[in-house]
Amino acid sequence: MLYFTKTPNIVKRIFPKLTWNIPSEKKVIYLTFDDGPTEDITHWVLSELDKYNAKATFFCIGKNVMHHPSIFQNIIKKGHAIGNHTHNHLNGWHKISKIYLENIDKAQEVIDSNMGNQKSVYQHLFRPPYGKIYTNVAKKLLKKNYKIIMWDVLSGDFDLSISKEKCLENVICNTTKGSIVVFHDSVKAANNLKYTLPKTLAYFSKKGYQFEALK
């Protein structure tokens, strides 16, 4: 499985309208969680974040929101941000643009219908599954006032071929001020996540970092 743990600067320059990190002189990190909400895993993540008063951003799959509305609403109650991750976790390079955009719209309808009174202050954030999105689709989403959130650091928690220690190393060695870091609140990633997230929170908290949600 090939992927960049640290997104190369040249990639960021080629796609400048996508958000890869948040330039900052402050000690701020943006933790993000893809693929939820998931029973048990998301609850555990929320509990770990609470220990450090950490805020994060959850890029939710629409069908999972449908299946777990109370978990989704708990994410919101705790002050975390919400993003769209398509309704069915589609690979943007394997679907024609019309179908892909319709799937995003379907997820957004589910997300909006479960936002409650938070909908009025909610920004539309989108992250393409696998980081794969056609340029024409990105342009259409930007015109619809979505912010397309990519990442600066990929933990690799989803990668079953790496050890949990390597997953932690990926985060600790590559995260800097303003980094957007990707985790997954999914069953597949649980083993690496449950080792890496508590240690990440402890390590960077000790160094004076704050954890904020994306806006």
**Active site (catalytic) residues:** 34, 184
SS (H, E, C) 124-154: CEECCHHHCCCHHHHHHHHHCCCEEECCCEE
State the Cα–Cα distance between residues 176 and 174, nearest whole angstrom.
7
**150: closest CA among 76, 96, 64, 83?**
83
State the Cα–Cα distance between residues 111 and 151, nearest whole angstrom.
22
Report which secondary-structure segment, H or E, holds 42.
helix 41-51
* Residue 54 CB neighbours (<10 A): 21
The answer to whether 63 and 86 are in contact (CB under 8 A) is no
